[in-house]
Structure 1
């Protein structure tokens, strides 16, 4: 397809993230009752995935240059969120095709990319085979081998807990091509199961899981499977590097699962609190209930700010993604687990009953969301990756390093981002993190501005945090303190994202969202004992937040910061 045609197709689909929620339920198929039944039966969500294919979601996983609509990573994030806000299982089942494909988009040759694009655009799932029974996320220890034989390579070994392993036609497999292994001892292969000889592979049975019960979580065992040389993705020995670059994109996209889960949980909780009458009054009128709902909303908006800035940074601050992607993937699922727990306490028994309230959707989303922290590297794996870059963060903060022009574009939601230049995806961010390192400048520019709450506390926390980072000695086995500091840095990035988006869109006219988000983030920026939410938020700000939340739920409007700022500033939603 010509580039002009691609751009036209992308414009035609530009509203999909915001219309998807309505389109999913238009024919009465993709409902809470349907989700509950599919979850009970542990059945793959074929019907829902077919609806998503009909809406063109599969095209969002394919670059525009190959006939798809993937040109804006934040748009992909919002699409994942929109589906997850209805059913995380469906979102996981469908979006895993992007995870399986992205390594090919980064390192595949023209023929591989074109062939895979046809597969994805036809609505056929693709799998990403990385983990193994004995090694999990330790990619360098993988034992699946692909050794040279006449005419190609012979695959042997087992890939385990692989999403779409059974249903996919194409599987992107990481395998050891050097018996010694190591960083340059693994390569990627795009394997077409239909081209393997009989007996060359065996699909392992679906594994039963606590959450996402209907997803295809299975495995594949290769038995002397001969694959052609043209199946190798990129040069031999570059498999791990390609995977690590791809993870920078998939980790950001996967946070959309958490944002959707939090939105769903908040909607259910507001509905419950509005309908539940205790002593002749609905729960929603009680101050403690309203306070808890606003706190959870604050965490959701803070998480969205971090994810939005990260997703736009894919295009504008690409060299910093090794830090940014690890930050949001570690932080956001963790924070949303906290939100869901807080809301579960509000719902009480109805949070874990199968049918007493909303077809048991709350207990389902709570079970489903538990897996998100594990996808694309667990929380500890991502924090360990961040710890390895502490020295760069310390130097960058001390020197005030930032790409101010790129940062301004990133934070202005009214401006389109440039296409991704994949050559800029690197494994180490030499500059550090512009968003955090620019905060002292922004706080100085806004000195005395009453619309920025906690400014003094924020600067103090930032200085103390980076002082703590500077005292961490490099080690293959980081200390507990190092992990606590990594967790604090995640909150600092989210606080930076909130301030950049506030300044970039001048969202100060919505006077409540910044204090509500920073009140949750500031205590989390301290790696010592603290209580999230201990920052003071004025009663008017709390009530304004509550009014917005109630109105949005009643109108079926998105519970998103982007929509909030768009309505206030005329930014495209």
Structure 2
């Protein structure tokens, strides 16, 4: 099975008779329900096998393959993508990382039988701050006793099992919490009370529930990964999901850009098409460049999970932080093209408003942008002193998107500091003969200068500057790091691509990224105009040829 197979199965989204097309997706959203026909279709396809490692009977061998398949589903309906199965993967990845053989086989049996596992972590009072979660599990005679609340948990009411995160020690520090893998049927009815659904503006078909536990007994063998290892397991396993999620968001952005292009090409204004307006062409071109940047950045992160797993402790939060901002900004920019049509809940462009509502929680859920910066900050001084401008770049295979990969090994992921930063080292490489003159040479020099400045500033950070109490200037350095990392990834992907991707598209990507750094633009006004015209025409051609806007340029139904 492949993303192409899933696309064929899902059919033409614009066909009003398609039971899983845009019309059906929008109708289910209006009813605030999951798309039942979509769930039935995914059941028949055995979609949950995407989340189960191959040794346990599933199809999970490569992170990039998982991301591409999920991207295909999220391009059609993010609520179906989250509510049908990805929420189960958020839970199951902890089991694959730290579970016993019996727990892994049990989880595989559930998922391959089209069942669900809820990731029961979140508490409204603490959000992503796992270290202060209050739901408590205490050892009793032969079992654990759970007391507390969990809120805004996907599929908690209809999941057959759950991975629970609970406090097991009152002592401060990272060994205060543990994880548990339990079946819902193993919990007594008087020990758990379901909370009403939490209403939301996005993901309206997803069951965002909660539960209150009162002296609820958990089996002694439910402990997952050892007592006191809950935070460590989460930090390791969620490196996978924090790279997969940015790659998935390219799907909804593809649909949004396609919808905005349709509107701009079809709608008449001022005696011509909306797409004839220079500002509109510029917006569409810039969003297309942003989509390519997100795809390249997340694609390198996905390959790093296989090839340089010790570095993903910093790459994963960096990708989640920057791409979420870029995607939200892109949706906002596209609203300027669609105008009032971007808010309509019926008609040919109605899918845009659903995508815009659904993508918002996807960009901050699981881990917030601020939490990502908090994870990055402690890494910066060490990387600045020991890695940047002194270590060689990562192996070329890291940037060869789509090339062969070794099997994903979750046991190689680490929760500690990375040993190096081979992606950032790309910026220190000498400029090639073909890039030395012209815009690419100027971008390379600008990015090297930015890296030298960042290195000097990060090397000077003190202990007080790398904690959650750090000042705005320190967080701004972490922000700049993510932009430079994305630029390095894009440069290396294009170089490794050997002409597969147009050079002018790379110029557009780097122009957009350096804009986020501030300072004087690298391109002249005439160069920027030519670049944006190229990107606009390339996007129109992809749209008319029914090809994806991402770096794969796959043909899609329609």
Question: TM-score band, normalised by the shorter chain?
Answer: over 0.9
- Alignment of structure 1 residues 68-107 onto 2, 5 Å: 68-94=58-84, 95-107=86-98
Per the normalisation by structure 2, the TM-score is: 0.93
Return the offset for 1:400.
2.4
Worse-superposed segment, 207-216 or 451-460: 451-460
1:505 is the counterpart of 2:497: yes
Equivalent residue number for residue 7 of structure 2: 21
Equivalent residue number for residue 516 of structure 1: 508
Relative contact order, CA 8 A, sep 6+: which one is greater? Answer: 2
Return the offset for 1:423.
2.8
- The alignment yields a C-alpha RMSD, in angstroms, of 2.2
Equivalent residue number for residue 129 of structure 1: 120
Whole-angstrom distance in 2 between the partners of 1:57 and 1:410 = 28
Equivalent residue number for residue 469 of structure 1: 458
Helix, strand or coil at the partner of 2:18: coil
Equivalent residue number for residue 434 of structure 1: 422
Q: Which runs of 5+ in 1 are unaligned?
A: 1-12, 567-573
Return the offset for 1:316.
0.4
Return the offset for 1:429.
3.1
Whole-angstrom distance in 1 between the partners of 2:525 and 2:461 = 28
Equivalent residue number for residue 52 of structure 1: 42
Whole-angstrom distance in 2 between the partners of 1:532 and 1:426 = 38
- Alignment of structure 1 residues 111-260 onto 2, 5 Å: 111-180=102-171, 182-260=173-251
Measured against aligned partners, the alpha-carbon deviations of 1:406-447 in whole angstroms (never above 9, x if no partner) come to: x31111235211112323211233323210123212537876
Return the offset for 1:18.
3.1
**Closer, same or farther: CA 203–514 of 1 in aligned 2, 3 Å:** same
Return the offset for 1:401.
2.4
Per the normalisation by structure 1, the TM-score is: 0.90
Whole-angstrom distance in 2 between the partners of 1:243 and 1:412 = 29
Contact 2:494 2:503 in 1 (8 A): no
Return the offset for 1:379.
0.3
Contact 2:121 2:165 in 1 (8 A): yes
Residue from 518, 541, 546 that aligns with 2:536: 546
Contact 1:141 1:181 in 2 (8 A): no
Contact 2:60 2:66 in 1 (8 A): yes
Whole-angstrom distance in 1 between the partners of 2:408 and 2:420 = 20
Equivalent residue number for residue 408 of structure 1: 396
Whole-angstrom distance in 2 between the partners of 1:395 and 1:483 = 18
Equivalent residue number for residue 479 of structure 1: 471
Equivalent residue number for residue 372 of structure 2: 382
Equivalent residue number for residue 281 of structure 1: 272
Whole-angstrom distance in 2 between the partners of 1:251 and 1:379 = 11
**Closer, same or farther: CA 168–72 of 1 in aligned 2, 3 Å:** same
Worse-superposed segment, 538-547 or 131-140: 538-547
Return the offset for 1:52.
2.1
Whole-angstrom distance in 2 between the partners of 1:53 and 1:390 = 44
Residue from 292, 303, 306 that aligns with 2:283: 292
Return the offset for 1:106.
0.4
Helix, strand or coil at the partner of 1:496: helix
Measured against aligned partners, the alpha-carbon deviations of 1:212-256 in whole angstroms (never above 9, x if no partner) come to: 111011111212221212111111111110011111111111113
Q: Which runs of 5+ in 2 are unaligned?
A: none
Whole-angstrom distance in 2 between the partners of 1:547 and 1:18 = 25
Whole-angstrom distance in 2 between the partners of 1:444 and 1:535 = 25
Equivalent residue number for residue 27 of structure 2: 37
Return the offset for 1:464.
1.9
Equivalent residue number for residue 455 of structure 1: 444
Return the offset for 1:357.
3.9
Return the offset for 1:305.
0.4
Residue from 39, 47, 57 that aligns with 1:67: 57
**Closer, same or farther: CA 438–375 of 1 in aligned 2, 3 Å:** same
**Closer, same or farther: CA 490–497 of 1 in aligned 2, 3 Å:** same
Return the offset for 1:399.
5.0
Equivalent residue number for residue 3 of structure 1: none
Helix, strand or coil at the partner of 2:310: helix
Count of residues in Structure 1 that have an aligned counterpart in Structure 2: 546
Whole-angstrom distance in 1 between the partners of 2:516 and 2:526 = 14
Contact 1:523 1:534 in 2 (8 A): no
Return the offset for 1:107.
0.4
Whole-angstrom distance in 2 between the partners of 1:46 and 1:534 = 52
Contact 1:402 1:431 in 2 (8 A): no
Whole-angstrom distance in 1 between the partners of 2:299 and 2:530 = 27
Whole-angstrom distance in 2 between the partners of 1:417 and 1:150 = 47
Contact 2:427 2:447 in 1 (8 A): no
Equivalent residue number for residue 418 of structure 1: 406
